[in-house]
Amino acid sequence: MLNRLRMLASNKSNLFAGNPLNRLHVLRSEEQQVNNIENADALYVPFYQFKPLATKQVNKQNRSVLWKDKKSIEKLLPNGSDVQGNIVLLGERNSKYYFAFDSDHPDMQKIEADQEYINLNFQGGQLEREEASILAQARSLLEWNTNHRFCGKCGSSTVSQGGGTKRTCTNETCKRTQYPRTDPVVIMCIIHPTEEKILLGRQTKWPKSMYSCLAGFIDSGETIEEAVRRESNEEAGVDIKTEDVFYYSSQPWPSMGGQIMIGCHAFLKGDDTIKISDAELEEAKWFTKDQITKAIQGAGQWDLNIEAELRVPPNSAIAHMLIKSWAEGEIKVREN
Ligand SMILES: [Zn+2]
């Protein structure tokens, strides 16, 4: 019987996880209550084209999110133009209410010299973990609201409700309500039959020598382990059995309206021959524990002018955590 030994290490917490806010699901059901707190002691984080406002990074110190009160928001926006089209309630903490709004008005670029709008996917790791997780929620919700302004059934316009957590069709004969979706993606660290190597792949557009775990969207009507099996086969030609796939941890990923990265380790039992058939993948290879350990030490501080046989993603990516947990001996199997 296959068994797995795993320690619940403290480093298992992924970037964008651990959102500390109370999401106020009960309060959201009363529109008047949402309006009341919006006008009370609320704080707002401005997004410009889905990028949140933060301090510039100085000497590799963490950035801070620039929360603003309603007065500052009105000052930031041109001629008092409102943001009702895209304002979302994030939640409450210590009796403070947190909102986010997005606008692509050019005046939004009139910010202080020590501030900038940041790309969460690339720069989220430069924020305090809790702030990064709040912004991930905000970014996903803002993008979903922007992209669902019309009813998918009848084509009429929709209105935001529940502080941006649902949108309802304005056509009286339709009134269809839609809710924010999260797209599941499997990402897997494939372990060699000897348990001495792992399989990583690279895409042509990635930095030189950069390799990472294989990943792909879960298809309709497919389980997590079936998606791992299919993607591993499609991308690298290896045959993983569904019973050899083990969930490790997950990571909210705030792009394209919001994804959830489902991190797994997958143990290959048979033929280790790699056959690339995916046009997206340039190469896939087995890497030894020594190669991986060396690459982890330099992860996130790449100097592309320096030759390296392997670069792996920084610790802001779940791929890093999957690879590291294997390299450090946290993930292994034993035959009982
Ligand atoms: Zn409709």
Alpha-carbon torsion, ordered 28, 34, 36, 42, to 10 deg: 110
Residues 211, 270 within the same domain: yes
- The answer to whether residue 244 is domain-embedded is yes
What does the block give as tokens for 215? 């990943």
Quote the ligand 1 centre to 76 CA distance (angstroms).
34
- Please enumerate in sequence order all residues whose Cβ is within 8 A of that of 216, keeping only pairs 6 or more positions apart, or say none: 185, 186, 227, 230, 231, 234, 235
Q: Based on the domain organization, do 217 and 317 belong to the same domain?
A: yes
- What DSSP designation does 74 have? H
Say whether 322 sits in a helix, a strand or coil.
Answer: helix
Residue 6 is predicted with a pLDDT of 47
Beta strands in the chain (DSSP E): 2-5, 42-48, 51-55, 87-93, 96-103, 115-117, 158-161, 166-169, 177-178, 183-191, 197-203, 214-217, 245-253, 259-267, 281-288, 332-335
330 shares a domain with 216? yes
* CATH code of 326's domain: 3.90.79.10
What is the structure's pLDDT at 336? 43
The sign of the CA dihedral 68, 71, 75, 79 is: positive
User: Position 143: which residue type?
Assistant: E
Q: Is 273 a member of any domain?
A: yes
Whole-number pLDDT of residue 269: 93
Could you tell me if 191 and 324 lie in one domain?
A: yes
C-alpha 86 – ligand 1 centre gap (Å): 20
Distance, CA 180 to ligand 1 centroid (Å)? 16
Does residue 170 fall inside a structural domain?
Answer: no
167 Cα: distance to centroid of ligand 1 (angstroms): 10
Q: How far is the CA of 170 from the centre of ligand 1 (A)?
A: 7
Number of domains comprising the chain: 2
SS3 for 21?
coil
Q: Is residue 20 part of a domain?
A: no
Tokens of 152: 């998918």
Joined together, the tokens standing for residue 318 give 């779940």
51 in the same domain as 191: no
Residues 186 and 139 in one domain: no
Q: Are residues 196 and 272 in the same domain?
A: yes
The answer to whether position 49 is within a domain reads yes
- Give the amino acid at 129: R
Ligand 1 centroid, distance to 160 Cα (angstroms): 14
Beta-sheet pairing, 51-55 with 42-48 = antiparallel
- Distance from the CA of 152 to the center of ligand 1, in angstroms? 7
Q: What is the pTM of this model?
A: 0.91
In this structure, the answer to whether residues 83 and 192 fall within a common structural domain is no
Judge if 275 and 221 occupy the same domain. yes
Structure confidence at residue 11 (pLDDT): 45
What is the distance between the alpha carbons of residues 197 and 90, in angstroms, rounded to a whole number? 42
For residue 186, being part of any structural domain is answered with yes
Cα 95 versus chain centre, distance: 27
- Verify that 126 and 35 share a domain, yes or no: yes
CATH of the domain at 42: 3.90.79
Task: Give, for all 336 residues of the chain, the pLDDT tens digit.
Answer: 344 444 444 446 899 999 999 999 999 988 888 888 877 779 999 999 999 999 999 988 899 999 998 888 877 776 655 555 588 999 999 999 999 999 888 888 889 999 999 999 889 999 999 999 999 999 999 999 999 999 999 999 999 999 999 999 999 999 999 999 899 999 999 999 999 999 999 999 999 999 999 999 999 999 999 999 999 999 999 999 999 999 999 999 998 778 999 999 999 999 999 999 867 799 999 999 999 999 998 887 778 888 888 999 999 999 999 999 999 998 877 554
Six-digit token string for 145: 């609201």
Distance (angstroms) between ligand 1 centre and the Cα of 50 equals 26
Whether the CB-CB separation of 153 and 169 falls below 8 Å is answered with: yes
138, 217: one domain: no
The answer to whether residue 11 sits within a structural domain is: no
CA of 199 to the centre of ligand 1 (A): 47
- Whole domain around residue 299: which residue ranges? 182-335
Choosing from 147, 170, 197, the residue where a domain stops is: 147
What is the predicted pLDDT for the residue at 82? 55
The pLDDT score that the predictor gives to residue 12 is 60
Please indicate, yes or no, if residue 211 is contained in any of the structural domains: yes
Q: Does residue 207 share a domain with residue 104?
A: no
Q: What pLDDT sits at residue 8?
A: 44
